[in-house]
Every structure is written in C-alpha cells, then in structure tokens.
Chain A
Amino acid sequence: NAGVTQTPKFQVLKTGQSMTLQCAQDMNHEYMSWYRQDPGMGLRLIHYSVGAGITDQGEVPNGYNVSRSTTEDFPLRLLSAAPSQTSVYFCASSYLGQGQTQYFGPGTRLLVL
C-alpha cells in the first residue's frame, strides 16, 4: 500500500513551459485534491475531485487544469508556467465525506524561472 504518490519530486521550468504533476493513490479514495504551499500562507486549495469524471475549482484555480479519468489518478497541469507558480504542490486523498482524514503525498517542489 503506497498511499499517495507524487512525481516528480523536484522540477525547474522556464516561463511559458507546460508540465503535468502526477498524483496517484491506491486506497480507492473518491476524494482527491491539489494544494499549493507558499511561505507564510499555509496550504491553498487549487482543484478537487469527488470522483472519476468530476472536478471542481478551489481557492486558487487560475493557471491550472485537472482531470480525473480514473479513481486512482489526479494529474495537475500547468498550461503556461509563470514565476508566481513557484511553490510546493501537495496532492491529498480521502474517502468521500471524510476529508478530515486526508492523506497527503510528499509534495512536488516547482521552480519557475
């Protein structure tokens, strides 16, 4: 049971490049979410999903896209990276209605130059 896995661990991008951050969970959780963590600001919700085929915006969705074609995977796409997207990104999952027991992945550290 690997829990929540994220790849890559680190990434450097140039402004304007696109990339996909991968997130997978093997706990059959319906709920999955993406957060970004910036110094002094805690974690902020980007997008979330309550099941395959269903996604919704969180607090800071601009510049990011998500899709949920399977229960296990919830990739986050940066369409055209900007320096303001330099951050640490965390994926989390839980059973639906039990979001208080979200399991977080180890994070992806992204630097946009």
Chain B
Amino acid sequence: GQQLNQSPQSMFIQEGEDVSMNCTSSSIFNTWLWYKQEPGEGPVLLIALYKAGELTSNGRLTAQFGITRKDSFLNISASIPSDVGIYFCAGPTNTGNQFYFGTGTSLTVIP
C-alpha cells in the first residue's frame, strides 16, 4: 500500500513556539488531509487541501499542498497546551474510497 512518512516523529516544544511538520509520499495525491488525535479519542479533521500549491489556514494552523503533489506541510503558530496530540496527514486513493494515513507526529507542549 501507500506509505506516507511524517517528520518529525515527535516534538517537545515550549508554549508560544511555532511548530512545523511535514508529510511525504512516494505517490501523487490529489487531496491532502490533516487530522489531530487527542489521547483516547478518534482523529478529527483539521484542514483539507485540494490543489497543488494551495495554502489554507484554520485559526493558528496553516497547511500547504506541495507543488509536486507528493508532500504537504502543517504549521502551528504560537502553540498552546491544548495543541498536544498526534497529528496525522492522510490522502485518498483515486476512487476516494480508501484513505492512507501517515505515521503521525506526536506534539507535546510544555507550559
């Protein structure tokens, strides 16, 4: 199956710092999705990207659809303790019926 690699695997940052993480694939995706999973919960969609080069924001979160369509980036500005969780990228197959998820980036925010 598809392999979506996320980096870094984990991050420990001070409250107020900005965060950057990325996701790369060996295959092209036409849609990139970013999810957040909090402890004991299922993933929740943060941002969806539909066009190469697209830059989309959701509050303090900004995500970009890479020009090559093989990567995507997520930035969080001015982190706060409630940003703690695991962030996943994901992309659908051409039929849109199957989704591949990345390996996740675990974020810890130190107050």
Contacts and interface: CB of A to CB of B under 8 A. Distances in A.
A106 B4 contact: no
Contacts, number: 59
Interface in B80-107: 88, 90, 92, 96-104
The majority secondary structure among interface residues of chain B is: loop
Interface stretch (B11-19, B38-46, B57-65, B70-78): B38-46
A45 B92 contact: no
A78 B56 CA distance: 40
A43 B97 CA distance: 15
Interface of B: 1, 4, 9, 31, 33, 40-45, 48, 88, 90, 92, 96-104
Interface of A: 4, 31, 33, 35, 40-45, 48, 50, 56, 58-59, 90, 92, 97, 99-102, 104-107
